Amino acid sequence: MRNSNRRNQRKSLSPLKILLFAIFIVSFSFAILTQTQAILAKNENKKISNKLTALKEENKKSSEDMKKLENDIEKLKSEVKENMKNKKVAYLTFDDGPSRKNTRRILKTLKDHDVKATFFVNGHPGLEELYKEIVNDGHALANHTYSHDYSKVYSSVNNFKADVKKLDKYLEEVTGQAPNYLLRYPGGSNNTISYKYGGKGIMKDIVKEMSKEYEFFDWNVDSTDASAMTQKKDKIVQSVLSESKSTNQAVILMHDLDPKTTTADALPEIIKGLKAMGFEFDKMTKDSYAPHFTKVPK
């Protein structure tokens, strides 16, 4: 009887043992899985941490390389600037063009002597081909206001800026070339005619505003071709060569209007004379030497 009861107990306990065993297995497996996931997560975090460390090192190296590059560029600029002090450079500049009579003559002379120049032009509808020829020959096409109308451009800062922007837009439409932000004020940055239209402080106000975007260029060599409707050719040559003796950076003022035929006549002698004096020639950029009659107000 007792043996029978024991057998029955063993039979009745078997399902419970199986259940407990199953629970143990599941718990053990879960613990193993959790531990495995923790190990994997730790490994993954370590990989991410290593990658972040590598990126930081790479960024640090890139920053150091960039800083070195910037320092090298600044050093090179300083060297170029220092060299330019002793180098004689002539900037031939022509205001008020283009013109039907003289622009092509000027361009031919420049091409014959392998010289680049800067044309501070106005807006002359109907002469679109001449603007294109200036650009296609590799010269700088710079802004001298669209209208060159003193009463208009010097009446206010806004009117001056609008006239300049009008020429920028016109030249870009004609040539396809974006503005280079080179500017020359009609009459120069210290002209007093502007007082009549905008008051005594108008030039300082205009210069302050326009210098936020444009580099302006006055001149330190006057050809005197504006002193007469048609100046004598020999006078133009003599003035340019004489005044250029006192500078290594000659910014030469000439004009490209129909009456200025003697300016075109004088150009070959001017170029030959400057070359004999040791000058090289260049066109203007925003980094070029820029004589200022009026200091940019702060």
* Digit-coded pLDDT (tens) for 25-61: 766 666 676 666 666 666 767 777 787 788 878 777 7
The secondary structure element, H or E, covering residue 94 is: strand 89-95
Residue 15 confidence (pLDDT) above 80: no
Q: How far apart are CA 268 and CA 282, in angstroms?
A: 16
Are 84 and 290 a contacting pair, CB within 8 Å?
no
Comparing 80 with 228, the larger pLDDT belongs to 228
Nearest Cα to Cα of residue 186 among 225, 143, 156: 143
Task: Give the active site residue among 95, 96, 163, 256.
Answer: 95
Q: What is the DSSP string of 197-263?
A: HH-TTHHHHHHHHHTTT-EE---SEE--TTSSTT--HHHHHHHHHHHHTT-SEEEEEEE-STT-HHH
Q: Quick one: average pLDDT of 197-215?
A: 98
Coil, helix or strand at residue 162 = helix
Q: Which of 96, 225, 255, 256 is catalytic?
A: 255
Confidence of residue 2 (pLDDT cuts 50, 70, 90): very low
Cβ burial of 114 (10 Å; 0-12, 13-18, 19+) is: exposed
Mean pLDDT taken over the chain:
90
Asked if 112 is an active-site residue, the reply is: no
Kindly state the DSSP code that residue 102 receives in the 8-state scheme: T
In degrees rounded to 5, what are phi and psi of residue 8?
-65, -40
DSSP state, 115?
A: -
124 is catalytic: no
Does residue 265 surpass a pLDDT of 90?
yes
Alpha carbon distance 128, 134 (integer Å)? 10
Segment 58-66 mean pLDDT: 76
* pLDDT one-digit tens code per residue, 112-167: 999 999 999 999 999 999 999 999 999 999 999 999 999 999 999 999 999 999 99
Cβ density class 115-137: b for 16+ within 10 Å, e for less: bbbbbbbbbbeebeebbbbbbee
Maximum CA extent, the chain: 149
pLDDT of residue 195: 98
Task: Give CA–CA dist 220/249, Å, rounded.
Answer: 9
